[in-house]
A = this chain, B = another copy of it.
Amino acid sequence: MKEFVYHEVVKVYDTDYQGIAHYASYYRFFTDSIDAFNAKLLGKDSKELVEGNKWFVVAESEAKYRKPLKIGDNIMISVSAKALSRKAIEYALLIKRNPGDETTTEGRLVLVCIDRNTFRPADMHEGMFNLLDS
């Protein structure tokens, strides 16, 4: 299992009238963290993933919101990932304000590799699977 930490700032467009980050905005944090994880640890940036014949689509998404976040909060998102099979990756995400702090939010996404022409599940690139499996 691979791990990685990504840093973000809560922006005005992430907040709602309650003065805290809107629940769906966290999926922006998760997407950005996973993009960075894929680029840094799997050697696949979003451009490369898009231009190939294989795409990843989200099959499951999930979040538990334990503590609210506010505009301007500097957050760190720990990403870990493992291959569920040759066709699916599970990403686990934990948001904290600082290293020693309690977790404010937990997330989980499952991405499935598909053939972009048929939209049918497909094996991910061998190198990607090996990196995840190592």
Contact = CB atoms under 8 A, between A and B. Distances in A.
Contact of A57 (B9, B32, B60, B68): B68
Contact of A70 (B17, B19, B59): B17
A24 interface: yes
A60 B32 CA distance: 20
Interface string A1-28: 0000000010111011111101110011
Given A19-B19, A47-B70, 7 more contacts: A11-B31, A11-B46, A18-B57, A24-B27, A47-B72, A59-B65, A60-B65
13 contacts: A11-B32, A15-B16, A15-B17, A17-B19, A17-B20, A17-B71, A24-B24, A24-B31, A50-B70, A61-B61, A61-B63, A61-B65, A68-B119
